[in-house]
Structure 1
Amino acid sequence: MGIRSSLQVLMVLGISLVAVSPANAGEMFVTPSFNYIDDDPKRAADDATGGQIGVGWKLSPRVTVEGVAGYAVMTGYVDVDVAELSANVLFSLGPDTRLSPYVLAGTGIMKTYSAAIENETSALANLGVGVKYGFGEGPLSLRLEWRTRFELFNTITYTDQITSLALQYTFGKAAYVMPIPEPVERDTDSDGVLDKYDVCQSTPAGQSVNSRGCPLDSDDDSVADDLDSCQNSPRGAIVDATGCEPDNDHDSVPNHLDQCPATSVGARVDSKGCEIHAVIELSGVSFESNSDQLLPGAESVIIDAAATLRLNQDFIVEVAGHTDSSGADGYNLMLSKSRANTVLNYLITYGANPANLTSRGYGEAEPIADNTTAEGRVANRRVELRILNR
């Protein structure tokens, strides 16, 4: 086989590789090389130099195929021209960086020509290692390679050591594009909410914020929780800089609910802001005759009384029940106790401290109105709260 025929075979081999390669639209390269051949001593020839040219395709990030045609002249006792044609697979040992080591293996044919001996054609096998050095992101690379070439199926088997220095030019290599850095997501006030979502971008360091980056304000009174002394202000309430509703007489009843806005400092007050005397009259708490069932309107009065007791947690209170004079004394005493218990249970339901409450029935012994009239008897069927530790 002549050199011209060998090159034709190389072209056919290359075309077939492209046809089956999934990367035929990818990188293709050409590699002219200078070879130094440490030939087999059995050839009785001197070491030689030669050249080769390779054409390759990158099948994947680590696998490349390359077709190679080479030629060399070995001088010695008998001068021999050697031509070879081979196909090799190169496997990269790491990612494709500037310095990339690889191993190779392949097979092919070789032919020796000589005026003194018979020309021979034989099979060959290649095994070797190499390293590729890329010049930046451009198409040029430098390759240094060492391989052993085994001449097979001949009358004499030869083994040659070949060192190659090659310049590789890659076609179709994607131009390197400097990556555009991702924009930095800023959080100027370091509150954990990115600026693009942060409605309040100047919150003080360490301030607790909500998902919008604004200071937490649990009761929506426009005073941040960490500055709010009254974190459960009613929605819509007018508050001062401390987050509390104004209370000019400092009795813990805000101005807009205070019916006695000028109570003396330290005075005990009820839920309306008025001073509490020894007995809290539950006006409006009345009962059906001969019953402990409350008349309509009584429950709202008890709710206000419970609020007063919550304001004065230290009060020890007796819930005192009374009746009119209808019926026997013993029965009225039992009925008054039952009425007192009804009110006590309502007070506890609405938040009064049960540990501070007792109940007692007084029967008909303490009337406040005339039992001879219907209106008087209704007034006497009552319950009142007596402050025992005022």
Structure 2
Amino acid sequence: MKKLILIPALLLGSLAMAQDYNYELSPMIGYNIAEGNLGLDNDGYLTGGLEFQVNSADSKISPELSIYYAPNVDYSTTGSTDVIRGAFNGVYTFNKRSSVVPFAKAGLGLETFTTNKANNSDSLFLDAGVGAKVAFTDNLALKLEAIYMLKPDSAHAGNADSNLLTLVGLTYSFGARAQKEPVIQPKEVVEEVAVATVVVPLDSDNDGVIDAKDKCANTPANTPVDADGCAIPQDNDNDGVLNAQDKCPNTPADTKVDANGCKVNLDTDNDGVLNANDLCPNTPIGTKVNSDGCPAKINLHITFGNNSTKVSEASQKELDKYATFLTTYTNYSAKIVGYTDSVGSAAYNKKLSQKRADAVVKSLIERGVNPSQLSAKGMGEADAIADNSTKEGRAKNRRIEAELIRH
């Protein structure tokens, strides 16, 4: 094989070498000058290669993966072989000089002889190289490099094998990196301000009326005043009674009040307990209530499945409302009483009603009611409120009642 000498022409110009791309791909071709003890014809051969480099935005050293292939390399005696090399290098990029970017690299590789190893062996090698890139366009450049490879080889009297690979190719840069916006420091502007002496009229009580015109000089802070600096009569709760005469200054809006600004005694739900003392202001007419206007005994309208102690989904809202009352008015306790219809034995119904009452107590505790406010009792078939001989009557008798007790 004839030895080729490659003399590339360097095209120097003012084009900028692209430095702001994440990746570089370089197809290369060149000539490998081999040490004489390898037994190769003319001690050299043509080689093609491909180099892939990943650029770092924060470091001048970038990783590079390379592969080189030389087919049908002739031995000086007889036969030929393919030579394949792969290498991993760290590439150090120097600062650009005009349109030329120099670089150096070093790393580790593997060399294999495929079809006829002859007196050579597959082995790792160390490499080091130098080169330069010359820009043609923003992301295309001419690439020149020379790489020296040193491979330990026991087959050659313990001497290491040396190769010098000279290459030329094109580098294509891609994967543009986002550019940082330049930081523009704001210029400090110093303005000279003329300071004038201003005489401000006094307003000793800070009511917005200067002392010279203030007829009520000691008005309390934050008091609305008129043009003379005197307090304007106020009615903060808008009940028609001025604050000075209002003995109930925080009456809710639209509340009917007397001359003192206090609520007129009303009993909206006609249960005999005035609204002012009524903790249950919407009790149905005719309901027996205690002194706080709340029912002494109510039907919670809680239902269960057939022969079940699990509270139905439809009854959950009733439990929510009753739990809210008991957690709000903790001076009340409740006795939860369970009843059944007459179907089944009296003993069984007594146990079933107790389990259902216990289930209601458990549900109320889960809603935040203090257990000390609750007790449960099963009454079975006792105290029927409807005829057990009809379906409708039996449904009414299967009930949970709550007896309120005030402490």
Establish whether TM, by shorter chain, passes 0.5.
no
TM-score bracket for the superposition, by shorter chain length = 0.3 to 0.5
Indicate the structure (1 or 2) with the bigger Cα radius of gyration.
1
- TM-score (ref. length: structure 2): 0.36
- TM-score (ref. length: structure 1): 0.37
The structure in which a higher percent of residues are helix is 1
